[in-house]
């Protein structure tokens, strides 16, 4: 039954999303917020009264979120995404071999890339962040977790490169929209301008 494994994997933001009236659906074992009803709360959660092939009753809420993301800024909890750390002296070489893009560039660089097989067919669509010369952070879609993990393990055999699944260890919070930098700058003393926080740059803080 589809309800037997609900509320097992929760992101660190889950309780906040509940307070904001989130309607949750299962996403690869996690509770993923699908849409919000600002009139709902922890004690009054949103529900779907009746499914339809026409416009759903919650469409207006979804439309508001899309417009906010397109015109202003939105926070999206993507903690269900697959996350891996590859470490080792040959980690960069292995990842560069797997990737269509050059992912073994300078430190603190994130690359969007694809992984292909010997026939040139797509195996994965993901990002690779180079944290230092021996540490890389790989993020892939939740539905490709097992495949991406095994693809890396297959190509690290006999190499000084080691893969760790850290999906459950890290949250993923996406800040998206044209006012993203403006919002982030209000939250941190770090310079979030284009010059300081340029496109394709990343930073690992502990």
pLDDT digits (tens, 9 = 90+) for 83-126: 999 999 999 999 999 999 999 999 999 999 999 999 999 999 99
**DSSP 8-state code for residue 82:** E
Tokens 């993301």 belong to which residue? Answer: 69
Alpha-helical regions (H) of the chain: 14-19, 59-71, 91-98, 145-156, 180-187
pLDDT digits (tens, 9 = 90+) for 20-57: 999 999 999 999 999 999 888 888 888 887 888 998 88
Residue 1 has pLDDT above 50, yes or no: no
Predicted pLDDT of residue 51: 85
Whole-number Å distance between alpha carbons of 196 and 178: 17
If we measure between CA atoms, which residue out of 185, 165, 167, 160 comes closest to residue 175? Answer: 185
pLDDT digits (tens, 9 = 90+) for 155-170: 999 999 999 999 999 9
Q: What average pLDDT does the chain have?
A: 93
Mean pLDDT value of segment 139-149: 97
Torsion of CA 32, 35, 37, 42, to 10 degrees: 0
Q: What is the DSSP code string of 139-171? A: EE-GGGHHHHHHHHHHHHTTSS-EEEE-TTT--
Of 49 and 62, the structure prediction assigns the larger pLDDT to 62
Predicted pLDDT of residue 3: 59
CB 160 within 8 A of CB 90: yes
Predicted pLDDT of residue 6: 85
CB 139 within 8 A of CB 127: yes
Element (H, E) at 115: strand 109-116
Whole-number Å distance between alpha carbons of 107 and 133: 7
Tokens 């470490």 belong to which residue? Answer: 87
Q: At what angle do helices 91-98 and 145-156 cross, to 10 degrees?
A: 120
Tokens 């770090």 belong to which residue? Answer: 190
Tokens 């990002």 belong to which residue? Answer: 127
Supply the pTM of this predicted model: 0.90
Residue 8 has pLDDT above 50, yes or no: yes
């Amino acid at each position: 039954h589809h309800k037997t494994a609900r509320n097992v994997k929760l992101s660190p933001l889950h309780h906040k999303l509940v307070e904001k009236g989130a309607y949750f659906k299962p996403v690869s074992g996690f509770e993923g917020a699908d849409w919000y009803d600002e009139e709902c709360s922890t004690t009054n959660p949103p529900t779907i009264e009746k499914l339809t092939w026409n416009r759903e009753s919650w469409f207006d809420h979804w439309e508001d979120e899309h417009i906010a993301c397109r015109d202003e800024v939105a926070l999206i909890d993507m903690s269900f995404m697959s996350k891996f750390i590859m470490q080792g002296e040959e980690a960069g070489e292995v990842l560069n071999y797997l990737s269509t893009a050059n992912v073994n560039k300078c430190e603190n660089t994130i690359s969007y890339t694809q992984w292909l097989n010997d026939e040139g067919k797509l195996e994965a669509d993901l990002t690779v962040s180079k944290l230092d010369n021996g540490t890389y952070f790989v993020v892939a879609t939740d539905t490709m977790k097992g495949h991406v993990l095994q693809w890396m393990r297959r190509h690290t055999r006999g190499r000084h490169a080691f893969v760790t699944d850290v999906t459950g260890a890290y949250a993923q919070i996406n800040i998206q929209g044209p006012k993203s930098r403006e919002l982030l700058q209000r939250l941190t003393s770090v310079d979030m301008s284009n010059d300081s926080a340029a496109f394709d740059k990343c930073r690992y803080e502990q």
